[in-house]
Amino acid sequence: MEDKYLLRGVSAKKEDVHKAIERMSHGLYPKMFCKVYPDWLAGSDDYVNLMSSDGSGTKSILAYLYWKETGDASIFRGIGQDALVMNLDDMMCVGATSNFLFTSLINRNKLRIDGSVIKEIIEGTQEYIEKLSEWGVNIFYTGGETADVGDLVRTISVDASMASRMPKKDLIFTNNIKPGMVIVGFSSGGNCIYENNYNSGIGSNGLTSARHDLLNHYYYDNFPETIEKQIDAKVQYNGTHRLTDIVFDQHTLGKMILSPTMSYAPILKKVLEDYKGQIASIIHCTGGGAGKVLHFAEEVKIVKNNWLEIPPIFELIQKESNTSWEEMFRVFNMGVRLEMYMESEAIANEIIQISKTFNIDAQIIGYTDASENAFVEIHHQENKFILKP
């Protein structure tokens, strides 16, 4: 899959990007899920400012294809949610629980993307903000920018930024993972109580791979605006499906692969209020999948030997692409998009019960042990494989 990523114009490890930014400031604490800076907004030594930037990635191309094939522009409501959640859940991993400022940046090709799509994205974002506010997660939508840049963007991209301010004493340090901890994994999909529809759990990572491995060459022939002509046609749209195919329990592939990224914010707010100081680290398993923790952990062996049931969407991608399970765990969240690390198994079990009250499955998926070098050991079915930085 890593070779496919490169052939498709995607860098899985982004070595050139990391090299380009190596001299820029990474904030007060470099190994965190978002940038943490001194309180320049109010000048208090007891507070810090937080900043995050992320987006929906190439998932917006899938929404474009679904809209063109079905005429249903409402599919873009989830794209607004994707951009919001990818920022929000990163920021909550450092201990922030409310009072966020959110702004969006939409770049479109006006010849292909009309106002109905922009309306759905903005309304979908606002709708989800209002839903989260019912659970005490307050986000102020400051607006943003919609730019017509058809000479830069063939269809549409949806990105966002988020800021907040929090007490320094409440920070959770992402790299505070030590031997002897238990790991709670939270399901990335299902039917949680604050969302209206079944969620496949795919989130907003690995969608370039999913799109080309699942969808057939019909899209290459009929939607040239979604391909890059410099990339070999053999690695573009080489699956067997159309977006309208029924693939699981009466759900179309389009609805499955475009399931909006579900936020864990209501759960995190409850847990961080009830167990302040008891959570060592929180990992949002986005880019990097089950190995995301390796961006932060040092001198620790992370064993994940009790994985949650893998959602059908990932099994479908694996079957269609014939990708090894090891690579699947490197690229996708595989049904666990949030991990919590803590010392107390008793508290872990209490947190699991909290998650289940939101109808989000959770369980202890593993433990940590001492090691000279950090690595993840995955147990899946009869297989065991190692993920390294």
Report domain extents, the chain.
Answer: 2-198+259-387
Q: Pairing relation of β-strands 336-342 and 182-187?
A: antiparallel
| DSSP string for residues in 135-158 | TT--EEEEEEEEEE-TTT-SSEEE
Cα–Cα distance between 182 and 278 in angstroms, integer?
A: 12
Query: What is the architecture of the domain spanning 2-198+259-387?
Result: 2-Layer Sandwich (3.30)
Cα–Cα distance between 8 and 228 in angstroms, integer?
A: 8
The SS3 call for residue 108 is strand
Q: Of 288 and 4, which is predicted with more confidence? A: 288
Q: Which residues, 6+ apart, have CB-to-CB distance to 182 below 8 Å? A: 341, 342, 343, 344, 345, 348, 364, 366, 367
pLDDT tens-digit map of 127-146: 999 999 999 999 999 999 99
Question: Among residues 161, 64, 70, 69, which one has the least CA distance to residue 108?
Answer: 64
Question: What pLDDT is attached to residue 11?
Answer: 57
Q: What percent of the chain has pLDDT over 70?
A: 94
pLDDT band at 27 (very low <50, low <70, confident <90, very high): confident
Q: What is the reported pTM?
A: 0.94
pLDDT tens-digit map of 220-259: 999 999 999 889 999 999 999 999 999 999 999 999 999 9
8 A C-beta contact, residue 186 and residue 336: yes
CB neighbourhood size of 2 (10 A):
13
pLDDT band at 9 (very low <50, low <70, confident <90, very high): low
Q: Hunting for tokens 């990105």 — which residue is that?
A: 159
Mean pLDDT along residues 353-357: 98
